[in-house]
Amino acid sequence: MPETTSIVEHNVILIVGWVKLAIEVLGATLVTVGVCVAIFHLVRTMASRQSDDFAPTRLILAKYLSLALEFQLGADILGTAVSPSWDQLGKLAAVAVIRTGLNYFLMMEMKAQASPKQPGASQAETTNQDDSAKMSDGP
């Protein structure tokens, strides 16, 4: 019986190792694709001289990087799940904090870029417009 358990445990660790590698490759592929798409968008924007605003290009790259970070974190969690040691758990915690922080700030930047504020509009003007719209809707 102990031999069977040892064989099953070995096979599970082997399978998880391969799945972890596949997820890491997928994350790296997403970064590569994101960089290529962002470069293509940047070159197209600069060639057509549409604008000097690089925010849309940064937003494209940020979306790919954010998704890639999620896959990389998932791979790290999977790798630690099968044979955790205190050293691996400490490294996972540090990596998780760093990647989650990066992802948080990428998401904040994407939200800021997706909904830019009206130029010259103060908070009071925006509030007054919102109040006027609510009053015109009626009860």
Most confident option among 14-23, 42-51, 63-72, 123-132: 14-23
pLDDT at 116 over 50: yes
Is the pLDDT at 87 greater than 90, yes or no? no
Q: Where do the DSSP E strands lie in 74-134?
A: none
Span 86-101, average pLDDT: 85
Between residues 121 and 66, which one has the greater pLDDT? 66
What integer pLDDT is reported at residue 1 of this predicted model?
56
Burial annotation 78-110 (CB, 10 A radius, 16+ → b, else e): ebbeeeeeeeeeeebeeeeeebeeebeebeeeb
pTM: 0.69
Sign of the dihedral defined by the CA atoms of residues 84, 88, 93, 96, in that order: negative
Tens of pLDDT, residues 9-19: 889 989 999 99
pLDDT in tens, 53-78: 788 888 899 889 989 988 998 998 89
Tell me the HSE value of 10 on the side-chain side, using a 13 A CA sphere.
6
